[in-house]
Structure 1
Amino acid sequence: MLQGSLPHPPPSIRSYKVSNNMLSGEIEPMFCNLPSLVVLDLSNNNMTGTLPPCLANLTNSLQVLSLQSNHFISAIPPTYTKNCRLTMMDLSQNQLQGKIPRSLAHCTQLEELILGNNLINDSFPHWLGGLPKLKVLTLKSNRLHGVIGKPQTKSDFSKLQVIDLSNNHLRGKLPSDYFNIWNAMKVHSTNLLSPYMLANTSFQNREYVWYDYYNYAVTLAMKGRNLKYENVPDSISAIDLSSNELEGEIPEAIGELKLIRMLNLSNNKFSGRIPLSLGELSNLESLDLSRNKLWGKIPPQLSKLNFLVVFNVSYNKLEGAVPQGAQFNTFNNDSYEGNSGLCGYPLTETCGNPEVPASTHLGWDEAEDEGMWSVIKFGWKIVLTGYGGGLILGMSLGWNFNAWKYGWLSRVLGKWVVSNSWNGSNWYGFSWISVWKKVPWNY
């Protein structure tokens, strides 16, 4: 493992790769005088200091610039010319400050721009949408602010497959226009290139050589873990807008991005219902909508997502039954906590009145029988009501009759009259035939 300052390279070097060592110190200005340099990889070291502004001049030949996971504290080199040939720039996990240089718009060959985990203070760089080959844009954990805004043209970010703007201060509504034009997330590209093919104009006939097998790689946060994906263009499309201040409804148009494998909109201020169109994202593996203000039911259409392994809608205002079947049988309580209105497996709260499925319909004969039975039930209700009312009225009149006519009955019945100790329980011992003969009922 290399230690100390950077070894001095020969002037004609084309690939300078010293990643994953313990090198320290600053990048010396002499690195700006390497006209044939195509790959500069100093990643995962202990480098410090500022980035020499003259590094931007190298981009007339430089195609891969990888300085991630160091301790650089300056601004990003500001000046990139129209001859810029950069294909990949990774300056993540440093302490870079300031704004994203607008001159990067000249780097029309740029496919991967990774500037996450820095101190960049800027608005959303919508002007990067004009880069015709940009596939990966990672600006997470910076100080981006303001609204995302609508795209400037119908071709903005048309090749984009991974966008990570998480852990910033972006606010406002999420423009649905972007989802309509992010075509690379809808259909597979016919021009997939896994490693960077680096052209060297010093060779005759513009011979293409493989200086290094540089794959697209991106690290995405999924359920609290950082997962590294290789060969990004071949395998993954992802959107991570978590931990911002975005609000409003989640656009239905997001369901058009059929190739998405990860969607993270957690920890924002989204409201409204969960879009039914999310059920059309057949390749989705991870869906995190937690810690928003979503309400309504979890769409049963989501149970069609056969590849879904991570699902989180916790801490919203959702209600109703949790969808069942397929992948939903594998999620635990953590996926739903903080929604007091939800019920059904795997929650302990059972659903009191399960709804009749929408696909259930009665035939005409069944409907007739159902209608007839309803009439019968209604008729019996009337009969029982009348019977009950008559019974109560009769008992009441009988009691009054007994109380008011006791003296009269005593005089008429004569020897059949009971003693003064008589009570209602002895009444049933009378001979009703004798009473019928003696009592003048036409009084």
Structure 2
Amino acid sequence: MGLSFPLIILIVRFVVSLMMFYLILSASSSGVQPLCHDDERFALLQFKESFIINQSASEKPSAYPKVSSWKLDQISDCCKWDGVECNKDTGHVIGLDLSSSCLKGFLNSNNSLFRLAHLQNLNLAEILELSKLVSLDLSYNPLLKLQESGLTGIAQNLTNLKVLYLDHVDISSNIPNILANLSSLTNLSLSKCDLHGEFPVGIFHLPNLQLLYIGFNKYLTGCIPEFNRTSPLESLELAHTNFYGELPDSIGNLKSLVELSMRSCNFSGEIPSSLGNLTNLIDLDLQSNSLHGSIPQSISRLVNLETLRLDNNYFRVEFELFLRLRKLVELQLSGNNISFITNPSTNSTFAKFRILLLAQCDLGEFPEFLRNQDRLELLDLSGNKIHGQVPKWMGNVSIETLWGLALVGNLLTGFDQLLVVLPYLNLKHLMLDSNMLQGSVPIPPPSIAFYSVSNNRLAGEIPHLICNLSLITELDLSSNNLSGNLPQCLGNLSASLTKLDLHNNSFHGTIPRICGEANELMMIDFSENHLQGRVPRSLADCTKLEAVNLGNNQIHDIFPSWLGILPELRILILRSNELYGTIESSDSNFDFPKLHVIDVSNNDLSGKLPSEHFQNWKAMQIVDVESLKYMEEYQTLVTHSGNTMSFTNTYSMIIINKGTETLYEKVNGFLVVIDLSNNRFEGEIPDVVGNLKGLNLLNLSSNFLTGPIPFILANLTWLEALDLSQNKLSGAIPLQLTELTFLSYFNVSHNRLKGPIPSGKQFDTFDNSSFSENPELCGNPLSKKCGNLEDSVPPSSRHNLEFSFEFGWKVVAIGYGCGFLFGAVFGQIVITKKYGWFMKTFVVGQPNRRRVNWRGRRN
């Protein structure tokens, strides 16, 4: 029975309506570029008014006045003006190209151009009248890009320039030699500009140059040239570049030099004795190079020196060398192959140091000269061989000023006197890790912010006096012999505490309330103890938690799905406890929005794998390349004298990686791990696992999983380790898994798999142990060979191909059918001249789309 004409009309109207809805949706989703912002339009017009149009201002035949299109019109969209580029989403001006624009004029420091806060690209080539400009400062605009041609234009046109500051501007090119022609230049600062290539030697010889900062350009290379006696250089910074070679004797000719920084370069050889000629020098920084030999005696002539950093080289030095440097307040000698020789009778003549770093200097005892140091703010004696007890007199060293003390990695056993609380009145940072300290936990003063005494031999309970440290931000008592219950008062510290590490001790009992109403806690590690009871529900109050490690205890509880409410939680480790039962379906309010690492291995969990949780772990479903950095916390402490010291504290954890227990001393924010091994999970591996595209490590071994290996696991393109061993999986190994090019560990042993083992790419690197105890598997690397060619393609893969083809032709047939029906009816409409009816029915009367201008907040 044929279709009636009214029914055909209804079908056509329905199909066309769907098409119109799709077109409207597409148009609205693509959006309309918003108009430029009024304040930026006025800034551009004011910039235009500061110049005049002059055809002779540009030498190129193609030059024309681009600003002619800039009109003072309330409805004019500056994003459409010639030479202006706007962000398509925000409407902010991000690019300005006025090269060859026939402009003459002056660019003052208060020019409206500098009000374009979102500007990223600027080209002002051939604005000739700027030749009178003497100072140009565009520094600290990291989104601003300046090409090599821009630098060349500056050198060609700004011939009277004296000061040029481009720090933190994205240049990303070589430095043109023509910059050496700016003979009036006194200050040149190009720090952190991503410069590369060979630095032009001629710039060092500019006749008036007093300041040269080119540090923090790691691909910038060059050598220190020979200097003449007339050089006016006062400040020279090459830090964190790839400069190399030896320091020339002629460096002693820079007698006006006040600041010399060459740290973290590739300099070698010895320090030339001529360095002693630089008697105006205040700051000398040569740390982290490959310099060697003895420090020349001439350095004692640098009587104005206040800061000397020679750490991390290969020097030998006698400490008496610094006796005459009475103004020296900061001395860094750590990491040199040096011996410490001191004449006690001359101790009183030493400078009064504020910062003294003598780590890894082969010291066997506390230097006697420290007795007379009463102004120290930071003292680092880590990594030496200081043994025995801390002498009593050390308790009087800079008792009022000391704020940082590091004694890590020595052979200390305790303190020479029984102290209830260490005596330093303003101590903020105390590090006693990796010694042989015995007895109870030393108590720092109430001023302490960072206290770490891990990896010692301390015993007993945590003293309740610890709970009086109301300013503490990090507390690390891990890897000792501490025991007893955790103090109930630990929760009193949550208003300031960000990191609490008590792992690898012998604590027992239940976990007390850790967070109060005000809390800053970001990381807790109570692993490797004997803690019992349930996961404390009070953890839900710790809203800033990023990492929770309760592994290797005796916690008896169900899986704490309620922890998913924590908005910042990235790491959850509960392995080797007594968790039981099924992992319940996830509530929409408990979805672990930022979870990257979960380890609940070695428990007694059962039931099916938690598909709904997998679906809600959104952070695992994206590959965030921007997270290629460590999870770290930064602390900055300011001393009484105004010195600033920064500290970086990282998270660490142990997980099973590629079948081996691995310590991650730093946790990369890119790392994504699921370990559900050694439980009693059953059923099939759900396809939703294939959506977790950020996964690096997936371990489902030693469960009771059945069914096939999902071919959709091939979507996990960043996967490095996949362990499905010790289950009851069946079917073939999907061919698609050979596309996992990062896969370096693969284990499906002790299952019920059959058919040929896929070959090629990573699969050619796996040995017999990856596939053993699967009686029906065949092919390399197993000794069992496959029988016929038909077996060379796993059945599951052939089924997938057949399914794809079957589905494909059905879709094509449906498409042709709908197209034919619509074409036939629409053709009939046109032929019968019912175009007007069509327009009236489907086009006329469509609502006007409203323009929505989205304007982001200005920074």
CA contact (8 A) 1:161 1:233 kept: no
Q: CA deviation at 1:295?
A: 0.4
> 1: CA distance between counterparts of 2:440 and 2:589?
47
Asked if residue 62 in structure 1 is aligned to residue 497 in structure 2, the reply is: yes
> 2: CA distance between counterparts of 1:154 and 1:95?
32
Q: CA deviation at 1:210?
A: 7.9
For each residue in 1:283-332, what CA deviation from the matched residue of structure 2 results, as whole angstroms up to 9, or x when unmatched? Answer: 11111000111100001111111111111101111000001011111111
TM-score normalized by the length of structure 1: 0.76
Which residue is 1:390 aligned to? none
Q: Unaligned 5+ residue runs, structure 2?
A: 1-434, 803-859
For each residue in 1:217-262, what CA deviation from the matched residue of structure 2 results, as whole angstroms up to 9, or x when unmatched? Answer: 2211134421123443433100000000111111111111111110
Secondary structure of 1:234's match? coil
Of the three residues 667, 685, 689, the one matched with 1:254 is 689
> 1: CA distance between counterparts of 2:732 and 2:645?
52
Asked if residue 129 in structure 1 is aligned to residue 526 in structure 2, the reply is: no
> 1: CA distance between counterparts of 2:710 and 2:649?
38
The one-letter code of the counterpart of 2:719 is L
For each residue in 1:113-162, what CA deviation from the matched residue of structure 2 results, as whole angstroms up to 9, or x when unmatched? Answer: 00000011111000000000000000000000111111111661110000
CA contact (8 A) 2:582 2:606 kept: yes
Asked if residue 15 in structure 1 is aligned to residue 447 in structure 2, the reply is: no
> 1: CA distance between counterparts of 2:645 and 2:691?
36
Which residue is 1:414 aligned to? none
| Cα 1:341–1:313 shift into 2, 3 Å | same
Secondary structure of 2:650's match? coil
Between stretches 70-79 and 37-46, larger displacement belongs to: 70-79
Secondary structure of 2:530's match? coil
Residues matched between the structures, number: 354
CA contact (8 A) 1:154 1:181 kept: no
> 1: CA distance between counterparts of 2:542 and 2:692?
27
Of the three residues 546, 570, 591, the one matched with 1:156 is 591
The one-letter code of the counterpart of 1:328 is F
Q: CA deviation at 1:21?
A: 1.4
Which residue is 2:543 aligned to? 108
Alignment of 1:35-54 (within 5 A): 35-54=470-489
| Cα 1:193–1:266 shift into 2, 3 Å | closer
> 2: CA distance between counterparts of 1:309 and 1:256?
21
> 2: CA distance between counterparts of 1:16 and 1:269?
46
| Cα 1:148–1:168 shift into 2, 3 Å | same
Which residue is 1:142 aligned to? 577
Of the three residues 788, 797, 820, the one matched with 1:353 is 788
> 1: CA distance between counterparts of 2:479 and 2:556?
24
Q: CA deviation at 1:19?
A: 1.0
The one-letter code of the counterpart of 1:245 is R
Of the three residues 674, 678, 702, the one matched with 1:239 is 674
TM-score normalized by the length of structure 2: 0.40
Asked if residue 272 in structure 1 is aligned to residue 707 in structure 2, the reply is: yes
Of the three residues 323, 335, 357, the one matched with 2:758 is 323
> 2: CA distance between counterparts of 1:199 and 1:76?
31
Between stretches 191-200 and 215-224, larger displacement belongs to: 191-200
Which residue is 1:434 aligned to? none
| Cα 1:211–1:240 shift into 2, 3 Å | farther
Of the three residues 722, 725, 733, the one matched with 1:290 is 725
Secondary structure of 1:73's match? strand
Q: CA deviation at 1:82?
A: 2.9
Q: Unaligned 5+ residue runs, structure 1?
A: 204-208, 361-443
| Cα 1:181–1:39 shift into 2, 3 Å | same
| Cα 1:31–1:141 shift into 2, 3 Å | same
| Cα 1:79–1:19 shift into 2, 3 Å | closer
> 1: CA distance between counterparts of 2:506 and 2:532?
12
| Cα 1:170–1:345 shift into 2, 3 Å | same
Secondary structure of 1:301's match? helix
CA contact (8 A) 2:630 2:650 kept: no
> 2: CA distance between counterparts of 1:14 and 1:259?
36
Which residue is 2:631 aligned to? 194
Q: CA deviation at 1:199?
A: 9.0
> 2: CA distance between counterparts of 1:307 and 1:188?
14
Which residue is 1:302 aligned to? 737
Of the three residues 516, 532, 554, the one matched with 1:97 is 532
> 1: CA distance between counterparts of 2:454 and 2:756?
51
For each residue in 1:169-212, what CA deviation from the matched residue of structure 2 results, as whole angstroms up to 9, or x when unmatched? Answer: 00001121222221211224567663124599x99xxxxx9874
The one-letter code of the counterpart of 2:750 is Y
Secondary structure of 2:669's match? helix
Which residue is 2:511 aligned to? 76
> 2: CA distance between counterparts of 1:250 and 1:216?
31
Secondary structure of 2:780's match? coil
Choose between structure 1 and 2 for higher RCO, CA contacts under 8 A separated by at least 6 residues. Answer: 1
- Please provide the CA RMSD for this pair: 2.2
CA contact (8 A) 2:636 2:646 kept: no
Which residue is 1:183 aligned to? 618
The one-letter code of the counterpart of 1:252 is D
| Cα 1:345–1:188 shift into 2, 3 Å | closer
| Cα 1:232–1:109 shift into 2, 3 Å | same
Alignment of 1:285-434 (within 5 A): 285-355=720-790
Asked if residue 33 in structure 1 is aligned to residue 468 in structure 2, the reply is: yes
> 2: CA distance between counterparts of 1:137 and 1:329?
34
Q: CA deviation at 1:68?
A: 0.6
Q: CA deviation at 1:84?
A: 2.1
> 1: CA distance between counterparts of 2:597 and 2:656?
13
Alignment of 1:209-220 (within 5 A): 212-220=647-655
The one-letter code of the counterpart of 1:29 is H
Q: CA deviation at 1:20?
A: 1.4
Which residue is 1:439 aligned to? none
For each residue in 1:77-101, what CA deviation from the matched residue of structure 2 results, as whole angstroms up to 9, or x when unmatched? Answer: 1353231221000000011111111
| Cα 1:133–1:106 shift into 2, 3 Å | same
The one-letter code of the counterpart of 1:260 is L
CA contact (8 A) 1:290 1:312 kept: yes
The one-letter code of the counterpart of 1:85 is E
> 1: CA distance between counterparts of 2:516 and 2:448?
22
Which residue is 1:374 aligned to? none
> 1: CA distance between counterparts of 2:652 and 2:714?
28
CA contact (8 A) 2:731 2:753 kept: yes
CA contact (8 A) 1:343 1:351 kept: yes
> 1: CA distance between counterparts of 2:737 and 2:490?
49
Larger radius of gyration: 1
Between stretches 350-359 and 155-164, larger displacement belongs to: 350-359
